[in-house]
Amino acid sequence: MHKILVTGCAGFVGSTLVERLLGDGHAVVGIDNFNNYYDPQIKERNLDHVLGSKNFKLFRADILDFKKLTEIFKVEKFDKIIHLAARAGVRPSIEDPLLYSQVNVLGTTNLLKAASDMNVKQFIFGSSSSVYGNSKQIPFTEDDLCENIVSPYGASKRAAEFFARSFHKNFGLKIVILRFFTVYGPKGRVDMAPSLFTNAILEDKPIIKFGEGDSSRDYTYIDDIIDGIVKTLETDLDFEIINLGNSNPVSLNEFIETLEKLLSLKAVIKNMPMQNGDVENTWANIVKAKKLLGWEPKVQFTAGLTKYVEWLRAQ
């Protein structure tokens, strides 16, 4: 068993991961600044099930505060780090690219430096399919040069990846970069389509459909993402970039139709043009994940969306 730091521990993926790690018997330390990207009370509730655990410790801290990070690292002496803290969202990154570069690039560099200084055994970085942008190479593979990034968010994640590689090369820090593809499921972020669309349909409010509906996303269920992270913890890789995706893109029109069937309700649709920063398609090549991690997704889209809708209705 290990002592593991999870940054962004109060978020959707972070809090779900903390529960899994504690269940597996690890000691977990979480860092989160509970920012207001969405309602901080949601993040507080995300940790309700773990705050009483003797194996979990929470630090309300900002990854931009290098002095505080250093203090935490010196006291806690982590074996491994799973870095999930970030400013998320493509469209908000266009509105405030400075904030995204600070948190996602400098914040990541702070953690890499602290990890290197304290000889941490493994650094797992949660990156994003947004680094591929509108790549011409479909499905997206890890050796893509990522020359078609279309959002500051994607650019900030790619820049953080470069910093991670440099820390491996210069300081020998063992690093695995996991590129997540459109994660959804219970506790899913309120600014993403599953939450926005489901709530709108249930409340008979219009959903906004950007473009003709033929854009697609490689929706990946939260449990599969968590399994991929846990399998990565069990490896001893020096440096790798690995896609974690369902490898089964779903068009926006198909997404809406599936949701209508699950809810037995018709969506009121407001059509809008495609937005700046939005990519046309995402699709993960997962050959590398299968080979290096022994991982592949188990939950297909309709089954995962069914679970999400059941969870949302129970709230």
CB 9 within 8 A of CB 31: yes
Based on the residue annotation, tell me whether 37 is a catalytic residue of this protein: no
Active-site residue identified among 153, 184, 219, 221: 153
Distances, alpha carbon 248 to alpha carbons 15, 40, 77, 139, 181, in Å = 26, 33, 40, 10, 11
**Which residue carries 């479909």 as its tokens?**
138
First to last CA, the chain: 34
CA neighbor of 283 nearest in space, from 209, 205, 219, 197: 219
CB 267 within 8 A of CB 207: yes
- Tell me what percent of the chain is helix, strand and coil, each rounded to the nearest 5: 45, 20, 40
CA neighbor of 296 nearest in space, from 228, 195, 233, 199: 228
Give the active site residues. Answer: 153
